[in-house]
Structures are given as C-alpha cells and as structure tokens.
Amino acid sequence: MESTFKLPEPACLVDPLTESNCYIFTSGSSALLIDPNNADLINTYAAEHHLVPEYVLLTHEHCDHIAGLNDLRSRWHLSVVASKKCSDGIQNTKMNMTRIMESYLYFKSGGKLHVSYPKFTCQAADIVFNDPVYDFVWKGHTFRCIAAPGHTPGSICIVADDALLFSGDYFIPGEEIITRLPGGDDEAYQTVGKDVLRSLPAPIWTYPGHGLPFMLTQEVKKQYGL
C-alpha cells in the first residue's frame, strides 16, 4: 500500500544517562516509536503532544534501547515489533547487557560515572519476525527491517519508505562498528552483517542509535570499511 503522505522527520528523545536515541513518528494522535530508551521522556512527550503510542520497533536488544519498554507496556496498549533473536535477547540479562551495564558506563566514562543500573528483562515482542527482511506497514508507510547480525544477534537496520535509515548501533558518528559487547559476533558481522550494511541505499538520511543524524554516503561507508 502506498503512503498517502510523506513520512515526516521523526522527533528524537535522548536519554541523559546512556545518550541513546528514541525516535518518534506521529500520525494524528497515533505514535510509532523506535527504541524506547526512557519512559519518563516518552510519556512526557506523549502527554505534551496528545499522543497515544501504538507500536514500538526495536533495532536490537541492548538495555539502553529498551529501558523504557516495560513502563510503556504497562501504561499503553501497544505492540512491540522485533526480530526473533532480539525478542529472545530482551528476555535475558546477559544478552540485554543489564548484567554489566554499571561497569560498562563506568569504564566508558573513564571512571567518572558511578551509577546504579538495575538488571531487568522484558517480555517477548508481540510481533516477531525471523526473515532476513521484514516489511512492517504503519499508516501506509513501510518500515523495512533488515537483519544485520554482528553488534548483537538480533540487530536490524530499518529503512523507512526508502528515504530514512535507522541504523541502531551501526554507523554511530565518530565510533567504529562494535562487535565486542554482549551478543557481539565479529564472524557474523564479517560474513553477513557487513554485506548488509554495504548494500544499504546511499545516499540516505540516517538516524543512529547514538549521536546526531547524518547523510550516509558511499564515502562514509568506505570509512567503515564497506
């Protein structure tokens, strides 16, 4: 089904602790979220803009991208869309990284950040796909979910209406592609994920899991060894 209106630029909410991004699309009072990082931020935004979250898409299973999910599920009647491996991973404290998140934040900050980060799990996604490419349609817009293992087993990239790319924790500005965190698999990245990233359309406006949006070009891909 063709969209009846151009997909608008999404709003972006940044979690102050982990600096992860949540993206919000709206259509009337309906909202679709990508990576619900912080329930307080999302609920405040929804209240201010008179929105009802309907769907959540997950780029991968790490906790900084799902930290708001349990609260949102308890507050709103929404459906979560994720790859099978991502859905499995959010149910496990090792795979969702909450088991080591305090240490990770401490070392990433150079020893400056001492925080308590509770372990948690989430229930399985409501809509689970196992195919390497899955098209999710919302309000006439197609969100193409493309499996890209490497950073985690359940990592995907999302191409919306062939116009916007949501890259999760791939293509984070100023950072190399990371496969050494829980669930990371360099072999899977080298044999599968790398080809997926190489095949993504370019130029395309890209919204990463951390940092500011940017234009992904073939030249930028080359900087990542693609």
Structure-token pair, residue 135:
């098209």
Q: What is the pLDDT of residue 3?
A: 42
Lookup result for tokens 């929804």: 46
Range of the domain at 169: 11-223
One-letter amino acid at 172 equals I
Alpha helices by DSSP H, the chain: 39-48, 69-75, 84-89, 101-108, 186-188, 194-199, 218-223
The region of weakest confidence among 7-11, 84-88, 160-164 is 7-11
Mean of pLDDT values over 181-207: 96
b/e per residue 25-50 (b: at least 16 CB within 10 A):
bbbeeebbbbbbbbbebbbebbeeee
DSSP state string for 22-57 = EEEEEETTEEEEES---HHHHHHHHHHTT-EEEEEE
Gap between the Cα atoms of 72 and 57, Å rounded: 13
pLDDT at 212 over 80: yes
Task: Please count the other Cβ atoms lying within 10 Å of the Cβ belonging to residue 182.
Answer: 20
Task: Please count the other Cβ atoms lying within 10 Å of the Cβ belonging to residue 201.
Answer: 10
Q: Is residue 144 part of a domain?
A: yes
Q: Is residue 84 part of a domain?
A: yes
User: Which CATH number do you get for residue 91?
Assistant: 3.60.15.10
pLDDT tens-digit series, residues 38-60: 999 999 999 999 999 999 999 99
Q: Is residue 1 part of a domain?
A: no
Confidence class of residue 6 from pLDDT cuts 50, 70 and 90?
confident
Q: Is residue 5 part of a domain?
A: no
Q: How many domains does the chain have?
A: 1
Mean pLDDT of the chain: 96
Q: Is residue 202 part of a domain?
A: yes
Gap between the Cα atoms of 159 and 125, Å rounded: 20
Q: Is residue 4 part of a domain?
A: no
For residue 43, what are the contacts with CB-CB under 8 A and spacing of at least 6? 71, 72, 75
Q: Has this prediction a pTM greater than 0.75? A: yes
| 3-class secondary structure, 160 | strand
Mean of pLDDT values over 57-68: 99
Q: Is residue 2 part of a domain?
A: no
pLDDT tens-digit series, residues 125-178: 999 999 999 999 999 999 999 999 999 999 999 999 999 999 999 999 999 999
pLDDT at 84 over 90: yes
Gap between the Cα atoms of 133 and 178, Å rounded: 22
Q: What is the pLDDT of residue 72?
A: 99
Q: What is the pLDDT of residue 7?
A: 81
Quick one: how far is CA 87 from the chain centroid?
13
Task: Please count the other Cβ atoms lying within 10 Å of the Cβ belonging to residue 127.
Answer: 14
Confidence class of residue 22 from pLDDT cuts 50, 70 and 90?
very high
Q: Is residue 6 part of a domain?
A: no
